[in-house]
Amino acid sequence: MTPRVAVIGLGGIGTALVKRITDEKHWDIAFAGSRSTYPRSHNPVDDILSELKQADPDLTFLCMSSQDKGKAALAYTTACVRVGKKVVTCEKGMLANFAEECVEEMLPFIGYSAAVGGGTHMLPYLQARRPNSHSMYIEAVINGSLNRSFQRVASGEVTFAGAFAEAKALKIAEPDCKDEMDFINGECADLLNKTCVVANTSLIRDSFITPNHLIGGLYYTDEQIVELTAKAAEYRFVVTFTNRKEFTPHEYFGPHFRVSVEDWEIEGGAREIKSVHWRLPDDVDNALCIVEGNAFGSGGRYVLYGPGAGVEQTTTAMLNDAERLLRI
């Protein structure tokens, strides 16, 4: 039977996904829309929920941004799962801010590999490595847009304003940022969300964290951004997750965050490249370096690279999740 699907969010990702569903998969699109479809409505989320109920799709794709911290995504996901329908999302806010509401009961019905790591399938990879690894040290690049921009500035080919303009043109910047200052802090907020998604879905077992739990936060003043961009050749944004008993916190430039949850220490911010244990990825790639074993590295060292931003990579990850869920 041909699947009937819905697509919520018709920005760059959603529009490309609709085309791929139509041209490649030949699935029936029961509903495709976004909040902008209802410009005069005071409650566009309610309008979309009504459309979803009437369309009754087998699976719903969520392609909206996280500007509301995931509240709309949670509403759509809850409505679908309650009637036995599947959801695939690239939105981060729901699993970062409302994991407790959805992980226990709804996660088996949700495809979320596109939420962190783009085409790398980073989250399933971590989940597969986690069960019998009692000592893990993980360094992660989970925001490729910042990585690429700092790399471009460090090359001397563009200013940070130029790197921001490139990020906007490539559609790898958060959609609501207006200038390079907005860009850095918008991507930092994205990094906090992704840190929580990694922890909530793939590492910690009985607890949940939100960005509010990340002590210190990651917000830069204009002066700090100017100073940091002057050091673009020396710093990259890296997140560390470890459950090793012995761990010495790293040094960061400016704002950084830390949290202890269960047996995990999690921290992140702008770190000197020379302090990182492996070669950082180029361009917009995301990456993990996982070191396992009670004796540091005795269980092996594993590195995963892949594009972390991009329409094709994200839609491919979402379609892969959809095919897996539709076979259940």
In the chain, the amino acid numbered 9 is: G
What would the mean pLDDT of 273-301 be, rounded to a whole number? 84
For residue 328, what pLDDT is reported? 58
pLDDT tens string 105-118: 899 999 999 999 88
pLDDT at 159: 80
Averaged pLDDT for residues 290-300? 84
Asked if pLDDT for residue 93 goes beyond 80, the answer is yes
- Alpha carbon 112 to its chain centroid, in Å, reads 9
Q: What is the pLDDT of residues 169-226, one digit of tens each?
A: 777 777 677 777 888 888 899 999 999 999 999 999 889 999 999 999 999 898 888 8
- Pair of tokens at residue 148: 């690429």
User: What are the structure tokens assigned to 53, written together?
Assistant: 């109920």
**Beta-strand runs (E) in 189-263:** 235-242, 253-261
Q: Hey, which residues does 291 pair with through a beta bridge?
A: 137, 301
Q: What is the pLDDT of residues 35-57, one digit of tens each?
A: 888 877 778 899 999 999 999 99
Helix, strand, coil % in the chain, rounded to nearest 5: 45, 20, 35
Query: At 263, phi and psi to the nearest 5?
Result: -100, 15
Residue 58 clears pLDDT 90, i.e. is over it? yes
- By the 8 A CB rule, do 167 and 158 touch? no
**Which of 189, 288, 309, 174 has its CA nearest to residue 239?**
288
Count other C-beta atoms under 10 Å from residue 304's C-beta.
Answer: 19
Longest CA span, the chain: 61
Question: Is the pLDDT reported for residue 119 higher than 90?
Answer: no
**Of 48, 59, 44, nearest in space to 324 by CA:** 59
* pLDDT score of 298 more than 90: no
Q: How confident is the model at residue 290 (pLDDT cuts 50, 70, 90)?
A: very high
Residues in the chain: 328
pLDDT confidence tier of residue 92, bands split at 50, 70 and 90: very high
User: Residue 255 has which token pair?
Assistant: 């704002």
